[in-house]
Structure 1
Amino acid sequence: MTTSDVESKMQALVEPWRERDLRASMPRSIVIVGDGAAGYTAAKVLRAEGFAGSISMIGSDRSATYRRPAVSKELLAGTKSVEQVLLGEPVVGVDVYHGVTALSISEDSVIVDDGDPISYDALLLATGSRARQLDDLGSGSVFTLRTAADVEPLREDFARTGSLLVIGGGLIGCEAAATARTLGAEVTVLEAAKAPLNRIAPESISRMYVDMHADNGITIHTDVAVSQIERRDDGTALVTAQDGRAWSAGTVLLAVGSVPNTELAVEFGLATRSGVLVDANMRTSAPNVYAAGDVAEVPNRLLGGTYRSEHWNGAVDQATRAARSILGAEVGDLDVPWGWSNQHGVNLQFAGWTTADDDYVLVRGSIEDRRFTACAVRGDMLVGAIGIGFPKDIRQVRAIIANGNPVDRDQLTADWLERQLTAVG
């Protein structure tokens, strides 16, 4: 589906109420469901933009808003506390409901499990996502790692057992494996695809990570379709693959992706696909209801279609624009998404919409030396970049992608990147 198709669909969904909505007065009360990066950022921007009405933020997490990327790194390592990775000071004048679950929403209020309904004139869904589960694997207990509350039980368990088996070789799985290894655990990673990090990196870079983990005492097994997890009499877990291979460990971490928390939106009748569909102004298919962060499925103005950004920066960017949209301010285009990963002291950065199947051009450095920049090309479009050691290149690629001009892969060099940045900026 192209960007124009998505915009047309959203226009058809919202047209019955758009004229009335545009004539509506400034909201007096705003409710934000979700107290993560998106919810906190939206509240902060609303106040910064001069909104003086009531803001209520509802979140099931009992902690103040913290930087979720720290969960699989600093928090799991124990080098920082939640208080040290807070996103910022509490936003002045916001009624925060920590440890409260939103049960349902109506056209003017949110029903919660602890107290009276909370009324709104405008509603922002920033409900985030949760760890994906694997069904029918048996009775073996496993851990997941998404929030600060998950950290201590997981760390205590692999410290006790001395071994950790990670199912899933994505960002969280690989980061948690690296962290657990620094704490002395014996670690093995099982990945269903042919290489780890395959959602964002080509096989050459993924294989580099296999070697990097091996250098640090971690074995990554690929093409593993887990079929069963069972606890043996000695307390260890036996994980069996469909092809008969088996591994055992004292602790098992399931890190196979996330599922957007769309239940409230679906029950309310909002348009959804993989997430809650929004237009370029972060508006859903219902009047005065917006969505941002992991739960939102946003239009891709550059490549067409839609996508969900599951990274911290995307949540902050979308929430900023949602807050301004609620207030009727100029929103502007979403930033080209980007993210990072720290494993074994190596910082990987990536931007755009890279996949393992894109055509990659090594622009600078050497993958073997773990210091490089590689650009992802799809047809004549630059769609992303991934690299280690050259963060400036990633910033340059984001600016070039945002410009939307076609590229000639044969001309992709470091000098070309710098010239193009000057041209677009």
Structure 2
Amino acid sequence: MHPIVIIGSGMAGYAIAREFRKLNAEQELVMICADDAANYAKPTLSNAYTGKKAPEQIALGDAAKMSAQLNMTILNHTWVKSIESATHQLHLEHVDQTATVQTYSKLVLAVGANPIRLAIAGDGSDDIHVVNNLNDYKAFRSQLDSSAEKRVVILGAGLIGCEFANDLQNTGHQVTVIDLAPLPLGRLLPAHVAQTFKENLEATGIHFVLGTTVEKISKNEHGHYFVTLANGQALQADAVLSAIGLLPNTDLAKATNIHTSRGVLTNAGLETNQADIYAMGDCVEVNGILLPYVMPIMQQARALAKTLNGENTAVHYPAMPVAVKTPAAPLTVLPAPIDVEVTWNTEETEDGMLAKASDAEGTLRGFVLLGATAGKQRLALAKQVPDLIPISV
């Protein structure tokens, strides 16, 4: 029997390998990835400074260790150039530019998402950092650690931008966050909660410049950057980090005639429209739902492992709150479904607030918990929210 092949060595790729190995120790597994296949948890990157973790301490295992641990062949620094779904073959290109063909019995696309990059003028725009993997983070940390004044400009006041802002401000950096939106986390929080969240972060020294965007980034001979904003304001920085969001990586799927929308489209069994090809992780859109968070990946891995082992299993999405790593303003969010009209009701707590989103029938569909006191209600509230995907394959 041909091997099961996993494309991608991120959290999703390793999660499915691990869950499958719990069920089947013998079936041949092959992982293919463009990077070095180091195993690490990407969410730890946005609070590594506070956790006193140097970049070289973040990886839990290199390719050799993971290959032995999971009894899996790992082809790192290898690119999948094309998929022939009819013949179940992958055309590969290796780091030495040799070409090979890999046959699969089942194929899992765990190809993740890529950072959105803005087109910004200026001779400093090529130096804008994105942190989407450990190598990105090493480059960002290297520049920060070599700068004397440690002034950082972050583009994007979303979840990742705010987490990095809190981590950097907490460790002696001067942080300015820029976003076109009027408030941070505007897509996740109702305005009154977002305002309080912003004020709590500002109290630590984080500076927000909102309602505008970056027009130009220039640099001088000393390695300092000048950030010019659309509102006419100018900032100085020693490093610039872009955290304006991710786009699911759908290029390989599209080239294989796999249906895509915002992400790679699958049914509740994580099956694409091509036989024996599945998708999971940040790249997947399951029955129209795109959830680029840790808990959905774990739910997907458990279900897909059973399917790959011969027991067709639908992924189950219970209510899965997201903990935002901003200790200055402890925050837990369960976003309400985007297609459901909700009404917000807010209660003040001694150190924050609890905001509940209810639908027309009064059913709880989402919530926001700001502050440590409110956060204690996370599990009880999550049990009241209907499952997102309770359906069978």
How far, CA to CA, are the matches of 1:392 and 1:321 in structure 2? 29
Q: Partner amino acid for 2:83? A: I
Alignment of 1:22-421 (within 5 A): 28-50=2-24, 52-74=26-48, 78-79=52-53, 83=57, 86=60, 90=66, 91-107=69-85, 108-114=88-94, 116-140=100-124, 141-159=127-145, 160=147, 161-232=149-220, 234-299=222-287, 306-332=288-314, 333-353=316-336, 358-362=342-346, 365=349, 369-370=351-352, 372-380=353-361, 381-387=363-369, 388-389=371-372, 390-402=374-386
Provide the TM-score with structure 2 as the length reference: 0.85
Q: Secondary structure at the match of 1:307?
A: coil
Q: CA deviation at 1:238?
A: 2.2
Q: Contact 2:151/2:174 (CA < 8 Å) preserved in 1? A: yes
Please give the secondary structure, in 1, of the residue aligned with 2:157.
Answer: coil
Farther off after superposition, 93-102 or 274-283: 93-102
Distance 1:345 1:113 in 2: 46
1:73: how far off? 0.7
Q: 1:220 and 1:307 mapped to 2: Cα distance?
A: 31
The letter for the 1-side match of 2:27 is G
Deviation at 1:318, TM superposition (A): 1.6
Q: Closer, same or farther in 2 for the Cα pair 1:279/1:393, shift >3 Å?
A: same
Map of 1:422 onto structure 2: none
Q: Aligned partners of 2:106 and 2:215: how far apart in 1?
A: 45
User: CA distance change for structure 1 residues 293 and 62 in 2, over 3 Å: closer, same or farther?
Assistant: same
The question of whether the paired residues in 1 share the 8 Å contact of 2:151 and 2:239 is answered with: yes
TM-score w.r.t. length of structure 1 = 0.79
Higher helix residue share: 1
Counterpart amino acid of 1:323? A
**Which amino acid counterpart does residue 12 of structure 2 have in structure 1?**
A
8 A contact 1:336–1:352 mirrored in 2: no
Seen in structure 2, the aligned counterparts of structure 1 residues 363 and 211 have a Cα distance that, compared at 3 Å, is: closer
Matched position secondary structure for 1:116: strand
3-state secondary structure, aligned to 1:209: helix
Amino acid of the residue matched to residue 318 of structure 2? Answer: D
Q: Is contact 2:6–2:108 with CA below 8 Å preserved after alignment?
A: yes
Distance (Å, rounded) in 1 between the aligned partners of 2:220 and 2:33: 38
- 2:78 is paired with a residue whose SS is coil
Pair 1:353–1:97, CA change in 2 (3 A): farther
Rounded to whole Å, the distance in 2 between the matches of 1:50 and 1:226 is: 51
Which residue is equivalent to 1:18? none
After superposition, the C-alpha distances for 1:49-72 in whole angstroms (9 at most, x for unaligned) are 226321111222324221111011
Alpha carbons 1:170, 1:257 under 8 Å: kept: yes
Structure 1's 138 and 281: CA in aligned 2 closer, same or farther, altered over 3 A?
same
Amino acid at match of 1:95: T
Determine helix, strand or coil for the equivalent of 1:31: strand
Aligned residues of 1:32 and 1:39 also touching (Cα < 8 A): yes
Deviation, 1:155, is: 2.3
The number of aligned residues is 368
- Shift in alpha-carbon separation, 1:323–1:363, aligned structure 2, 3 A: farther
Q: Can you list the C-alpha shifts for 1:316-370, whole angstroms capped at 9, x where unaligned? A: 2222222222333252423333321222455322224367x9532225725xx23
- C-alpha RMSD over aligned residues: 2.6
Between the aligned residues of both structures, percent identity stands at 24
- With over 3 angstroms needed to count, the CA separation of the structure-2 counterparts of 1:138 and 1:379, relative to structure 1, is farther
Superposed CA offset, 1:247-297 (max 9, x none): 221211111001111111011110001100000100001000000010000
Q: 2:55 and 2:218 mapped to 1: Cα distance?
A: 33
Q: Secondary structure at the match of 2:241?
A: strand
**CA–CA distance in structure 1, aligned partners of residues 49 and 104 of structure 2:** 35
Gaps of 5+ in 1: 1-26, 300-305, 405-425
Verify the 8 A CA contact 1:190 1:220 in the aligned structure 2: yes
